[in-house]
Amino acid sequence: MISKAALYGFQASRFTSDDFLVIVLSLDNVSFYRYHVDNRKFFVTDYKEALPHQISNFISLETIHDTAIKKWWDNIFFEREGLCTYDTYYDGLTISEDSDITFKDIIKNIVDVVSTINIPTDGSYVFLTGDLSTCPLIRYAFQQNLPSSIVNVLPSPTCEESVCEKDMVIYPEEQLENLVLYANGGIKFSMLAISPVSITLPLLSVRDMMMSETNWDSMLDNQRADYSVGNFDFKKVNVQVECDVFQNIFLICDDLDGNRKVKHIN
């Protein structure tokens, strides 16, 4: 399972090794994710989701996906040195045969709408994805509002590729170093993030603390003994740490019966 934010980052990081911004354009709202990149790994430094916009007041999905109109617009909004470019020669022409609105007017309207959306305006690389991202007019409007950025279209994310979120994101190393599991003399979370640790737990100690404010009992799905030695029952568990693209830390405990408990740490 991989989050959309991680998948957007994975796709965009193929095109640049610098920090970047991904803007997700739905029909009625906008989400953005800002990424920091280091050695082909990344994490989200800032994001906002479902910011409303009024782009659909001026342009419909039917217009955007009309094959003839798209062919016409692809000639008017053309690529030059990586930027979406527009020739003002077309200002007085209408956007389609059955429309009264001119390119000059609709560009102004869309640019004005985009300027009201609270998205970051700094950064060199911006990628658009979502329902409205393939419309060259909308890409041009974002390019006008982000003059210091290169605005490109990112393909819609798919889950066809075999990718794992924990292998592509930057972990919060400082936090992991400061967190300790109370077992085997103390195991830093930074070690648990590298590989799981197998722990044999006496069931008499399940109410003991496994880490600050968390006891073993809360991380066990059941307390069935895996084996006994004399009058003492023991349970074997695998403990590991994973982090997501937002640098959230998760403590994970698996037992031999396939049960799993996950605790969000930060």
Of residues 208 and 161, the one with the higher pLDDT is 208
Contact yes or no for 128/153 (Cβ under 8 A)? yes
Other CB atoms within 10 Å distance of the CB of residue 143: 23
Last residue of a domain, one of 106, 124, 153: 153
Interacting residues of 104 by C-beta distance below 8 A, sequence separation 6+: 88, 91, 92
pLDDT tens-digit series, residues 212-225: 889 999 999 888 99
- Please tell me whether residues 141 and 181 are part of one structural domain: no
Distance of alpha carbon 236 from alpha carbon 8, whole angstroms? 38
Residues forming a β-bridge with 102: 94
Query: Same structural domain for residues 113 and 149?
Result: yes
- Looking at the fold, whether 19 and 71 belong to one and the same domain comes out as yes
The reply to whether 40 and 136 lie within a common domain is: yes
* Residue ending a domain, choose from 153, 182, 201: 153
| One domain for residues 143 and 214 | no
DSSP 166-213: HHHBPP-HHHHHH-EESSTT-EEHHHHTTS-EEEEEEGGGTTSEEETT
The answer on pLDDT for 159 being more than 90 is no
Domain match, 15 and 147 both: yes
- pTM for the full predicted model: 0.90
Residue 61 binned pLDDT confidence (cut-offs 50, 70, 90):
confident
Residues 89 and 185 in one domain: no
Q: Let me know if residue 162 belongs to a domain.
A: no
Which of 18-22, 63-67, 175-179, 233-237 has the lowest average pLDDT?
Answer: 63-67
Question: Once rounded to an integer, what is the mean pLDDT over residues 104-132?
Answer: 93
Q: Tell me, what's the pLDDT at 166?
A: 86
Largest CA distance in the chain: 91
Q: Do 251 and 140 belong to one domain?
A: no
Tell me the one-letter amino acid at 88.
T
Indicate whether 105 and 225 sit together in one domain.
no
Any domain includes 147: yes
Do 66 and 92 fall within a single domain? Answer: yes
Work out the pLDDT band at 158, boundaries 50, 70, 90.
Answer: low
Is pLDDT of 193 > 60? yes
Lookup result for tokens 């599991």: 181
Is 90 contained in some domain? Answer: yes
> Residue written as tokens 């950025």?
149
Name which of 71, 76, 82, 62 is nearest 107 in CA terms: 76
Is residue 262 helix, strand or coil?
A: strand
Indicate if 142 and 180 belong to the same structural domain. Answer: no
Looking at the predicted structure, is the pLDDT value of residue 251 above 60? yes
Q: Which residues contact 130 (CB under 8 A, 6 or more apart)?
A: 23, 24, 25, 26, 156
CATH number of the domain that 29 lies in? 3.30.420
Q: Is 64 strand, coil or helix?
A: helix
Out of 153, 188, 213, a domain closes at: 153
Q: How far apart are CA 241 and CA 181, in angstroms?
A: 10
The residue range of the domain holding 60 is 4-153
What tokens appear for 15 in the block? 């095109």
Q: What span, in angstroms and rounded, lies between the C-alpha atoms of 102 and 94?
A: 4
Nearest to 20 by CA among 4, 40, 2, 50: 40
Indicate whether 121 and 205 sit together in one domain. Answer: no
Sign of the dihedral through C-alpha 71, 76, 82, 83 = negative
Q: Cα(11)–Cα(7) distance, rounded to whole angstroms?
A: 6
